[in-house]
Homo-oligomer: A and B are copies of this chain.
Amino acid sequence: MEFDNSVPIYVQVINKIKRDIILGKLKAGDKMPSTRDLAKELGINPNTSARVYKEMERENLCYTKRGLGTYITESEERIELIRKEMAEELINKFIKGMIQLGFNHEDMVNFIRSKQ
């Protein structure tokens, strides 16, 4: 996996996993790879993948069964929420930024259509 140097690796990995969940590549209750396997798979430090799971657990995106491994949350609501949160964040940041540049909503719509 390619990493962008300007944002922490563990954040990038979390976002990647969130996207996989949203897109259905990972489903509620699925078992995640072990931290060591994840590390090997992504070419990152095991400490980093451990952090990924820790942060995701904090966000109730996954949970750990002692001695068994880490699993995606079984709460479908939680999963649906992630999508909304991530979209909401993107949208707000975008709109705020464009307004600061002096563009209005209609401009934004036109830009997006022009990139279609």
Partner-B contacts on A (CB < 8 A): 5, 8-9, 19, 22-23, 58, 63-64, 66, 83, 86-87, 90-95, 97-98, 100-103, 105, 108-109, 111-113, 115-116
Which of B9, B103, B112 touches A109 (beta carbons < 8 Å)?
B112
Please, how many angstroms separate the alpha-carbon atoms of A93 and B97 in the complex? 12
Do B87 and A101 have beta carbons less than 8 Å apart?
A: yes
Do B19 and A101 have beta carbons less than 8 Å apart?
A: yes
Q: List 28 A-B contacts (CB under 8 A).
A: A5-B63, A5-B66, A8-B66, A9-B66, A19-B100, A22-B101, A58-B58, A83-B101, A86-B97, A87-B98, A87-B101, A87-B103, A87-B111, A90-B94, A90-B97, A90-B101, A91-B108, A91-B111, A91-B115, A94-B94, A95-B112, A95-B115, A105-B112, A105-B115, A105-B116, A108-B112, A109-B109, A112-B112
Do B101 and A86 have beta carbons less than 8 Å apart?
A: yes
Which label, helix, strand, loop or mixed, suits the secondary structure of the A interface?
A: helix
Beta-carbon nearest neighbor of A24 in chain B:
B102
